Amino acid sequence: MVNLKMRDLTVFAADIRKQLLIELRNFGFGHLGGSMSIVELLAVLYGSELKHNPKEPNWSERDFLILSKGHAGPAWYAALALEGYFPIEELLTLNKPYTNLPSHPDRLKTIGVDMTSGSLGQGPSVAAGLCEGFKLQNKDNYVYVVVGDGELNEGQPWEAFQYIASRNLNHCIVFIDENKKQLDGTTDEIVKSFDFVNKMRAFGFNSFRVDGKHTQTILEGIRKAKGFSQKPTCIVLETIKGQGVKHFEDIVLNHVVRFNNDDVKATDEALVELDSIIYGGKE
Amino acid sequence: MMFIRHDTSMCVMGSENYGDLLLEIMGKYTNIVALDADLVSAAGARKAWKTFPKRFFNVGIAESNMMGVAAGLSMTGYIPYVHSFAAFATRRAYDQIYLSCAYAKNNVKIFASDGGFNIGINGGTHTSYEDMGMMRLLPDLIVSEPCDTTQMRWAMNEIYSQYGVHYTRVFRRPVRDIYKSGSNFMFGKGNVIKNGNDATIIACGSMVYEAILASDYLAEKGIQVCVIDMFTLKPIDSELINEIASRCKIIITAENHNVIGGLGSAVAEVLAESGFGTILRRVGNKDRFGQVGSVEFLQKEYAMMSEDIVKLIQSLINK
Ligand SMILES: Cc1ncc(C[n+]2csc(CCOP(=O)(O)OP(=O)(O)O)c2C)c(N)n1
Ligand SMILES: [Mg+2]
């Protein structure tokens, strides 16, 4: 729960990305695209904005994070490990028998994970319930919920959004990871998103768009959201599926990556670059 | 005692999956429309999607919407072939299947992949050991789980010519061949794969191969075990079950599903009413949630291997 400076958030993001790549390459395949696109967001949340304490995971004053797009679990695990919730080496147990790190988050298995997800579309409703509970208890915990742009094809999140705004649950902050892709292709090819900012405004939210590729813009966005006390906020993050490693960004269908020789090579190269950010002090 | 897994010569690995057969049947019948909820690539159906783009509707990640769209398409005379993973095709769309499809008597064909342990690495959240139970509860549905490509191909063709809602488990990774290609079947009729009077295994889907392995192994030990492929869970073949119960003392069901609600329950219901006093034991998921792991790991973890069937039969016969 240290407040890191900007520079450190960039380094933290590099570290999360590094651990994520090692984790997925070690297992051999996984939901790479959507994991990579939330790395910067995780760095800002865990490095600065999320009230939490790895030494006391059940601290009653903590903020809650719900990763509604549960398939990005491996990125979350990397951030939690780096924050000290469990040893870094445990990342290598991803998806192995009896692991605490299953492909999709499980609140009964992973320390630091407050809610289970994987069947898309259910997170925002749970966030609404948490906010209602905290409100009844006169508490000011924030509830952050991360949804995918494809995930918003589902109807349930929209039921939740309307409810959250209607009940003025202003401690709810929704992030839409707008990487413009879902599983079978782009959102434009499958189901068009139209304009999330306008849609969320019409649903009663404060809503704006920020560059989700940089920690600074995300940080500013969250601080701005916390300044609004009248309404809940939705931050649309402009991201790239596979974000941060050109080779993976360029793979058209990069929802799940099965590491072939090229992918392993690209990962090795990326790790060298990430290490130079982490240890070398250059960007 | 360790049971060594052995290969039966007839059960070689097939090469086709749901997507391949969808491509084939869409080429054959122009009034079939395909629907999917952003799992076209997972189903191996990209080729069908690209070949018949006008008749292929990828509705996005919106399973309940998909069932309603399918109902509407059915009302305009098309025959919708709808796919998602078993967990999402059922749990996320149950009321739409109930009302828009079944109760309204529309002609919707649901194909669900990755049932039971076949979900593998996607883990507990994506696991469905309850889908066939849920579907069996809806009036008039035909619920089935083919065990190989030949049977799946037959089912996908037969379903085309039968009006009503069909729920069919399918596979997206190739499985072993059980039947000679071109074999014919009938919904509601179990297939006797092997004869024997010491015990009978009534299996469906992924468990048919395990049942054959178990029976082969026991035959070497002098125990003759009948194997039935009960690929239709509803309507259940009560005639065949009663015929077996009249001459065989031990019946084992084997399903890649919770033993509550699926094949084991369906057989138990028949036996309870027929009163033959047969011993029934159910192999399957014993009412546990799924978890993450490879298909092989999960099948062992949930005790759905041929070894588990063998041990059970031996313990009953040695009593
Ligand atoms: C209810 C449900 N339907 C289908 C899936 C399978 N699935 C997992 S991820 C995914 C695509 C998600 O796209 P998006 O929300 O845009 O995530 P991202 O691009 O951030 O990875 C699909 C279809 C699922 N997990 N849950
Ligand atoms: Mg997306």
B1 pLDDT tier (thresholds 50, 70, 90): very low
The answer to whether the CB of B303 falls within 8 A of the CB of B283 is yes
Contact A253 B41 (CB under 8 A): yes
What would the two tokens of residue B248 be?
Answer: 């065989």
CA dihedral over B108, B61, B69, B93, signed as positive or negative: positive
Residue range B202-218: average pLDDT? Answer: 97
The answer to whether the CB of A157 falls within 8 A of the CB of A147 is yes
Backbone angles phi, psi at B144, to 5 degrees: -145, 160
End-to-end, the C-alpha distance of chain A in Å comes to 24
The answer to whether the CB of B285 falls within 8 A of the CB of B303 is no
The answer to whether the CB of A148 falls within 8 A of the CB of A75 is no
- Cα A153 to ligand 2 centre (Å): 10
Q: Which atom of ligand 1 is nearest to the CA of A34?
A: 21
Which amino acid is present at B278? T
What would the two tokens of residue A94 be?
Answer: 């991803």
Is residue B136's pLDDT more than 90? yes
Residue B54: count other Cβ atoms within 10 Å of its Cβ: 6
Is residue B287's pLDDT more than 70? yes
Q: What is the pLDDT of residue A281?
A: 59
A248 pLDDT tier (thresholds 50, 70, 90): very high
Residue found under tokens 């997972």: B42
**Per-residue CA distances from A111 to A15, A72, A145, B251 (Å):** 20, 16, 18, 45
Q: Structurally, what CATH architecture does the domain formed by B14-170 represent?
A: 3-Layer(aba) Sandwich (3.40)
Q: pLDDT (tens digit, 9 = 90+) per residue, B49-58? A: 999 999 999 9
The share of chain A scoring above pLDDT 70, in percent, equals 96
Residues in chain B with CB shorter than 8 Å from the CB of A70 are 125
What would the two tokens of residue B299 be?
Answer: 């099948």
Residues belonging to chain B: 319
Instruction: Sort strands B225-229 and B109-113 into parallel, antiparallel or unpaired.
Output: unpaired
What would the two tokens of residue B126 be?
Answer: 């994506």
Instruction: Sort strands B191-194 and B225-229 into parallel, antiparallel or unpaired.
Output: antiparallel
Backbone angles phi, psi at B304, to 5 degrees: -125, 40
Distance from CA of B161 to the nearest CA of A (A): 30
**Per-residue CA distances from B36 to B20, B59, B75, B136, B258 (Å):** 15, 6, 18, 22, 26
Task: Tell me which residue of B256, B81, B120, B52 sits closest to A256, measured CA to CA.
Answer: B120
Is residue B4's pLDDT more than 70? no
Output the residue whose Cα is nearest ligand 1's atom 7: A183
Q: Which atom of ligand 1 is nearest to the CA of A118?
A: 25
Give CA–CA dist A16/A29, Å, rounded. Answer: 18
pTM over 0.90: yes
Output the residue whose Cα is nearest ligand 1's atom 17: A148
Q: Which long-range contacts (CB under 8 A, 24 or more apart) does A85-91 make?
A: A85/A54, A85/A57, A85/A110, A85/A111, A85/A112, A86/A110, A86/A111, A86/A112, A88/A19, A91/A19, A91/A22, A91/A23, A91/A26
What are residue A55's DSSP bridge partners? none
Backbone angles phi, psi at A8, to 5 degrees: -65, -30
Q: Which residue spans of chain B are classified as CATH 3.40.50.920?
A: 191-318
Give CA–CA dist A30/A95, Å, rounded. Answer: 10
Nearest-by-CA chain B residue for A193:
B60
Residue found under tokens 């392995």: B213
Residues in chain A with CB shorter than 8 Å from the CB of B39 are 183-184
Q: What is the pLDDT of residue A229?
A: 86
Contact B39 A103 (CB under 8 A): no
Is residue A132's pLDDT more than 70? yes
ipTM of the prediction: 0.95
**Per-residue CA distances from A180 to A34, A37, A177, A236, B116 (Å):** 10, 11, 8, 11, 32
B318 pLDDT tier (thresholds 50, 70, 90): confident
Is residue A25's pLDDT more than 50? yes
Question: DSSP strand E in A59-167: where?
Answer: 64-67, 143-148
Residue range A7-25: average pLDDT? Answer: 96
The answer to which of A27-31, A56-60, A100-104, B8-12 has the lowest mean pLDDT is B8-12
Q: pLDDT (tens digit, 9 = 90+) per residue, B96-134? A: 999 999 999 999 999 999 999 999 999 999 999 999 999
Which amino acid is present at B258? N
The answer to whether the CB of B197 falls within 8 A of the CB of B224 is yes
Reduced to 3 states (helix: H, G, I; strand: E, B; else coil), residue B142 is strand
Q: pLDDT (tens digit, 9 = 90+) per residue, A176-229? A: 999 999 999 999 999 999 999 999 999 999 999 999 999 999 999 999 999 988
DSSP class of B206:
T
Q: What is the pLDDT of residue B95?
A: 98
The answer to whether the CB of B38 falls within 8 A of the CB of B60 is yes
CA dihedral over A101, A69, B55, B105, signed as positive or negative: positive
DSSP class of A201:
H
What would the two tokens of residue B147 be?
Answer: 């065990």
The share of chain B scoring above pLDDT 70, in percent, equals 97
Q: What is the pLDDT of residue B88?
A: 98
Reduced to 3 states (helix: H, G, I; strand: E, B; else coil), residue A69 is coil
Q: What is the pLDDT of residue B15?
A: 87
H/E run at residue B152: helix B149-161
Residues in chain A with CB shorter than 8 Å from the CB of B40 are 184
| Domains defined for chain A, CATH in brackets | 6-281 (3.40.50.970)
**Per-residue CA distances from B144 to B119, B132, B218, B302 (Å):** 18, 8, 28, 22
Is residue B3's pLDDT more than 50? no
Residues in chain A with CB shorter than 8 Å from the CB of B36 are 184
Is residue B232's pLDDT more than 60? yes
CATH number of B191-318: 3.40.50.920
Is residue A88's pLDDT more than 80? yes
Which amino acid is present at B171? F
Give CA–CA dist A33/B37, Å, rounded. Answer: 19
Buried b (16+ CB within 10 A) or exposed e, B97-115: bbebbbeeebbbbbbbbbb
Q: Which residue spans of chain B are classified as CATH 3.40.50.970?
A: 14-170
Q: What is the pLDDT of residue B9?
A: 63
Residue range B191-208: average pLDDT? Answer: 97
The answer to whether the CB of B281 falls within 8 A of the CB of B289 is no
As for ligand 1, residues whose beta carbon falls within 6 Å of it are A 33-34, 37, 69, 71, 118-121, 148-151, 177, 179, 181-183, 241, 255; B 37-39, 61, 88, 92
Residue found under tokens 């090229």: A262
Q: Which atom of ligand 1 is nearest to the CA of B126?
A: 25
End-to-end, the C-alpha distance of chain B in Å comes to 17
CB proximity B53 to A under 8 Å: no
- Cα A149 to ligand 2 centre (Å): 5
Instruction: Sort strands A257-258 and A29-30 into parallel, antiparallel or unpaired.
Output: antiparallel
Is residue A2's pLDDT more than 90? no
What would the two tokens of residue B148 be?
Answer: 């190989």
Is residue B28's pLDDT more than 90? yes
